[in-house]
Structure 1
């Protein structure tokens, strides 16, 4: 007869005696006093090392192990926040490799091209596109943005005059009793304050971005090593992605949920980025042909907001229509052109682009998509709107994997349930 296996329980863990507890409490008090005295010379890394030295001999206790894990988790985020400018080129290179790896795989499988050759070809293509954008597109867009801000500031006086002469306010005064002068003053003061804040923050934001990247030498260094990083990441992408997957915990002894999440998010991001680039190109070219003011800005807006499902198209139409009405010549004609162009792009996307490019949908209900957009946007702002849908898809994938495992466990026989639980 096989003897039963002995499994240690929580009661079998060693416990501190009264004398050991007193010594531990005194040591912690002295440790905290020392930290207070040296607070001007300490940083989170030194505090974490001291805590590790203090708690490592007590790691056999479950509460101490939990404290070590939570401290290591917080320390990891602190280190990443301190090294964000250093890690930025590596993150960008991995993201570009993640998006373009299917093209490398296609060249390798279909055309029997060695992986290092296909990686070089895709790297040259990506660097060429980025270089063209930096040399031509970015200066033109920044110029139009500065001109838009200047015209908005100049139009404040015209807005005040229009509000005084507008027949719309005359009709509102007949229906609703309100102080017209106070309303005009509050509205113009609010708009002026928002414009002043925007014009003050824009140079500061650009300066902070430049400072985070570094000096001119640092920028040149990043631009020089980025092609090399993209090439080596693409060349060894299968091994790098597998190593990254191995960092995550297993579920029922497998990591299928990560493969599912990676496939769904990858297909979604690649499809959305491609559709956004097509939308930005189509809208920009069409508006430039019709000589609509700030055509490149509207095209860029259409491409970026296209990454936000449902809500992005509504915001694009509203903002583009306001720009056409404020700065068009004549306004009504430019508004009609902008509306027609955006409507045509929406029809093209719904009938041709999305069915053919986004063949792998994330499988989320529209209500859940809108809820995720509002929740992520509330906590993370514009960045949250961009990551809301793929992050929600990953969470749904985790939940589905967990639910399937529980259902299999529920319908299995008692012996199978015991083996699965083990």
Structure 2
């Protein structure tokens, strides 16, 4: 009896040791990836972002392939269609958004002044509080201080990065399987099938996450923007655009864009309208979180909110806005890898 218990304890220790080594290995890979991205941001950033775009367009390419369209041509058609959708959205939204930016800036300035007066009466903040300065400092810390925003600061660099991104997207879609096979081919033959299955799963995670993000962002922007318009809040279009962009940063982006809408409503239409805008934002967010996200993401991308917030904090600390954007899919991929390793360890 004692020998069996000792054997069981040793097996438990061995399993824990394997999981610990697996976790350390993943952390080591992430640290190396961070160092590479920091030093080669101009090249690595488009390559990473192209992975999301390619994963989102992959179903269309696969559909065209089933219709006997050659894969390189299918990849080109998918990219052209994607660019056409982006161009149509820019043509419809951007001119009106830019035209209303000065008015939006003025409204936010009035709102922050009112918020300063309210917060100055509270014991927590006291007199002299300056919300605009606090937000400016946080924005500078979030977008600045890293090599990535600085590296993409010039127009020439941005244009070259966009061109590189499009080329890499085409390569991923047309020859991605060849690239994956070449990388997996370096592994021991006994592990290649297992790695293939894991890579296929991770590819599904990335693709479904990015496609779902586009749908969720559009849902939030359309319905919150419609609510603002129905309530007579000015600047509904630029606020809806900010809501759309904020949705790409889970939880935090929705909170910040919703706060901006409430502040503008308070400054332009008074407290009652601001409360109604807050209700609209909360209702839309609840529908999005409890109905839309489970439908479009499914169970393949299911990371707890606490893990998401921690991952975003770590990603933004390491890589700024890019790290915050990549935090959730990276966390989802790590979760799938850990689950796979845990299942394999249990089988052994």
What's the TM-score once normalised by structure 2's chain length? 0.68
* 1:359-390 Cα deviation digits (max 9, x unpaired): 343345xxxx1331232233233655544443
Contact between 1:287 and 1:295, CA under 8 Å: does it hold in 2? yes
Taking only aligned residues, the RMSD between alpha carbons, in angstroms, comes to: 4.3
What's the TM-score once normalised by structure 1's chain length? 0.58
1:99 Cα offset (Å):
1.7
- In our comparison, the structure showing a higher alpha carbon Rg is 1
Higher relative contact order (CA 8 A, sep 6+): 2
**What residue number does 2:210 align with?**
269
**What residue number does 2:19 align with?**
none
The equivalences for 1:197-212 within 5 A come to 197=137, 201=140, 212=151
The equivalences for 1:252-401 within 5 A come to 254-255=194-195, 256-288=197-229, 290-307=231-248, 316-325=257-266, 327-333=267-273, 335-337=275-277, 339-340=279-280, 343-344=283-284, 346-347=286-287, 350-351=290-291, 353-364=292-303, 369-381=304-316, 385-401=324-340
**What residue number does 1:14 align with?**
none
Contact between 2:243 and 2:257, CA under 8 Å: does it hold in 1? yes
Q: Is 2:44 the partner of 1:105?
A: no
1:292 Cα offset (Å):
2.0
Contact between 2:37 and 2:45, CA under 8 Å: does it hold in 1? no
**What residue number does 1:237 align with?**
176
Q: Using the alignment, how far apart are the partners of 1:374 and 1:76 within structure 2? A: 21
Q: Is 2:75 the partner of 1:114?
A: no
Residue 112 of structure 1: SS of its match in structure 2?
Answer: coil
Residue 202 of structure 2: SS of its match in structure 1?
Answer: helix
**What residue number does 1:194 align with?**
134
Q: Which consecutive unaligned segments of at least 5 residues does structure 2 have?
A: 1-28
Q: Using the alignment, how far apart are the partners of 2:136 and 2:294 within structure 1? A: 44
Q: Which consecutive unaligned segments of at least 5 residues does structure 1 have?
A: 1-71, 173-177, 410-422
Number of residue pairs matched by the alignment: 312
Q: Using the alignment, how far apart are the partners of 1:286 and 1:124 within structure 2? A: 33
**What residue number does 2:127 align with?**
185
Q: 1:183–1:361: structure 2 CA closer, same or farther, 3 Å change rule?
A: closer
In terms of mean alpha carbon deviation, does 266-275 or 148-157 score higher? 148-157
Q: 1:346–1:83: structure 2 CA closer, same or farther, 3 Å change rule?
A: same
Q: Using the alignment, how far apart are the partners of 2:263 and 2:111 within structure 1? A: 13
Residue 128 of structure 2: SS of its match in structure 1?
Answer: helix
